[in-house]
Amino acid sequence: MTAVLPVRGPGAAQLLPPAEDTRSAHDRFAGPARTLGLLAPWLVRAVVGLAVAVFAFLAVGPHVLGYRTMTMLTGSMAPMIEPGDVTVVTPIAVEDVTEGMVITYHQPIGDRSIVTHRVIEVDRSADGRVSVRTQGDANEAADPWTATLEGDTAYQVRAVVPELGHAIQALRAPVLTQTLLYGVPALLAGWVLLTIWRPTPETTDEEDLS
């Protein structure tokens, strides 16, 4: 019996069976590990930088620059100030309070809680006392009281940081506190391990040539 063999033309390449992936598990995971190793330092820096910035804004700034920060709890000043926004207030002389300003003060009734509303009327008495009527931008009626501003200083809203109050409240939650307490060290440890295990350029070149 005569066998007929196919004849390859000149220069034709011989077909080879598909090669199997002979890379080790270390080689297959080297790429993702290298990517994580590159991203981890920037992630840690971003988290630390954000934490430092928030701490400086809330704890250091008021002592150095003289402003105060307060979290809005209601929607009475929406849309200018939404619940969860943080207001930045600075001191001004009581005699400088005018209509249209948004000020923060203690309401003269009930538990004397802090309120942030817009001044709609100012009354100056002969003895120098300054009394104001206020109203929230989202409220249909004025506040049911006339407040006498005590002392020589009032506080005017100068800036609003949206949603920061929600982040502050979340950071005070026990679950998140524990997560930060143990999660940040774990993240740093992972960064160190990825840095140690990350293949060096020399090792990669040798593996590519083998």
Determine whether 132 is exposed, middle or buried from the number of CB atoms within 10 Å of its CB (0-12, 13-18, 19+): buried
**Domains of the chain: total:** 2
pLDDT at 92 > cutoff 90: yes
Q: For residues 40 and 192, what is the distance between their CA atoms, to the nearest angstrom? A: 9
Same domain, 139 and 195: no
pLDDT at 191 (0 to 100): 65
Lowest mean pLDDT among 2-16, 51-65, 114-128, 136-150: 2-16
CA distances in angstroms from 131 to 4, 64, 146, listed in the order given: 112, 30, 6
pLDDT at 165 (0 to 100): 86
Same domain, 205 and 159: no
| C-beta of residue 103 within 8 angstroms of C-beta of residue 132 | yes
Lowest mean pLDDT among 36-50, 77-91, 103-117: 36-50
**Structural domain includes residue 22:** no
- Cross-strand partners of 68: 89
pLDDT at 94 (0 to 100): 95
**Structural domain includes residue 82:** yes
Domain interval for residue 186: 173-210
Q: Is 166 helix (H, G, I), strand (E, B) or coil?
A: helix
The larger pLDDT score, comparing residue 158 to residue 184, is at: 158
pLDDT band at residue 16, thresholds of 50, 70 and 90? Answer: low
Same domain, 182 and 98: no
Question: Residue 209 is encoded by which pair of tokens?
Answer: 């040539």
pLDDT at 2 > cutoff 80: no
**Structural domain includes residue 78:** yes
**Structural domain includes residue 43:** no
**Structural domain includes residue 35:** no
The larger pLDDT score, comparing residue 7 to residue 46, is at: 46
The predicted model gives 133-141 an average pLDDT of: 97
Q: For residues 40 and 33, what is the distance between their CA atoms, to the nearest angstrom? A: 10
Same domain, 154 and 72: yes
Same domain, 82 and 107: yes
Same domain, 96 and 162: yes
Tell me what the pLDDT averaged over the chain comes to.
78
Same domain, 110 and 145: yes
**Structural domain includes residue 23:** no
**Structural domain includes residue 74:** yes
User: CATH code at 151?
Assistant: 2.10.109.10
pLDDT at 209 (0 to 100): 36
**Structural domain includes residue 6:** no
